[in-house]
Amino acid sequence: MEDDSRMRLFTETQRVAVISGNRELSALIGWKALRIAYAEGMSVGLAHAFQGMAAGMVTIGEFRAAYRYANLAAEVMKRFSDGQDAEYSNFYMKLFGWVFHLRQPFHDDIDMWLEMYKQSLPGGITHMAMGCRLCYVLCYYAAGMPLGSTLGSKLRLFERACVELGQESFLLFFRLSRQFYLNLAGKSDDGKKSMKVGAGAPDPAAFEGEVFNEDEALGKLDGNARKMALRDVSVFRLILALIFRDDSTAEAMVERLVSYPFFDLFVVMQHLHLAFVGLALLTLGKEGKLKEHAKLAKKIKKHMKALDKAGSPNARPVYLCLEASSRPGRASYDKAIAACSHARMIHLEAMMNERCGLYFQERGDDNDLMREYLTNAILGYNDWGALAKVNRLKEEFDIRTFRAWEEKFCRNLIAI
């Protein structure tokens, strides 16, 4: 493959401009790179220029244009690579992580990240290889894939690979990810013990476990490494806080996260960040909390709506969940539940069922509907593998009442 160091420099500078929120500089670099690349003719440099323009278009919300530039970048690169070398994988990883996730379901991309990992290793680009595994984990959680023992085993392997490949900087993320899984599943690290529920039980929205302890891990870091680790910890804790309805932790995590940039080059990281910050702001806003961040909630909702209009299958369920959170009602919750079910995002589907059940509980005018939605929430969380949440709901509500409702529902179904 020919030398494309100049275009790589343009792309890297543009990446920094995007992360820092300097849209004007990002656009200027993109157009400058394209002019040079066009003058030189068909080359790898042109592929990098298109890649840079795609990233720039994402930052200004021109998602359809971003996708067009990304497709052009991929087509040009194919002319100079057989698609098997590490350099191509590096290029495609960025293209996919920055743009293609806008149009493709996270479910469909999970295995692709493991394939990219395998392609990266022979070329010795170990940091990129571990980056592919990081994206695998983010996509897995964003898609609401099952939380089973297979996931726990993979995360252990990823941790071991960090040490073997000399990429310890990724170790914190994978340990954090495994503790997140254990908190949801309600298990100890060896899988033999289940977490208690009720008085004296561990806080499921805190990272104080055997695998990852937040205070200890962050205490060893400083500077930018600590800042980025704190962001990752806060996003995962916010998700747990919303699932376990821990308003005080959710409020604290939002206060941490509002200081971070709105945009992230990697679509899946931004998706998790914005989706759950938006849900928290709209939910807590109904209780008079975090009112000073109301504009951010509107901005997130507008962003997800724009992504939905541009054809993002991942944004639509989130946008409808945000709509239901801002305008609670059976119709809005049903729309969100249907969209989450269609997108196979079982974690959000369960959350919306739970919130709809609680909506009817607060109204106190339809116990059958309350039980219907809360039963669906329990079943959804169980299918996801969030057994700690299932046990929490069973303890909070009279499960015998739900079983009686289920039997009645089944009898009516058979009668139809």
Q: Which tokens belong to 324?
A: 């239901």
Give the SS3 label for residue 187. Answer: strand
**pLDDT (0 to 100) of residue 82:** 63
> Residues 297, 282: contact at Cβ < 8 Å?
yes
**pLDDT (0 to 100) of residue 312:** 94
**pLDDT (0 to 100) of residue 387:** 96
Cα–Cα dist 16/62, whole Å: 19
Cα–Cα dist 362/218, whole Å: 40
- β-strand partners of 194: 187
What separation in angstroms does the CA of 24 have from each of 18, 264, 304, 359?
Answer: 9, 16, 23, 45
Give the SS3 label for residue 213. Answer: strand
Cα–Cα dist 373/71, whole Å: 42
**Rounded to the nearest 5°, which phi and psi values hold at 207?**
-105, 85
Q: What number of other Cβ atoms are within 10 A of residue 367's Cβ?
A: 12
Q: What angle do CA 130, 135, 140 make, to 5 degrees?
A: 125
Average pLDDT along the chain, 416 residues, taken 10 residues at a time: 62 69 71 73 76 81 89 86 68 87 91 86 80 95 93 94 90 96 88 56 90 95 94 98 97 96 88 97 89 93 95 96 96 98 97 96 87 94 96 82 56 50
Give the SS3 label for residue 159. Answer: helix
> Residues 240, 259: contact at Cβ < 8 Å?
no
> Residues 128, 90: contact at Cβ < 8 Å?
yes
**pLDDT (0 to 100) of residue 21:** 63
Contacts of 319 (CB under 8 A, 6+ apart): 301, 304, 305, 307, 308
Distance from chain centroid for Cα 302: 18
Cα–Cα dist 87/327, whole Å: 48
**pLDDT (0 to 100) of residue 400:** 58
**pLDDT (0 to 100) of residue 416:** 45
Cα–Cα dist 359/402, whole Å: 17
What separation in angstroms does the CA of 274 have from each of 54, 60, 249, 382, 408?
Answer: 21, 16, 17, 25, 40
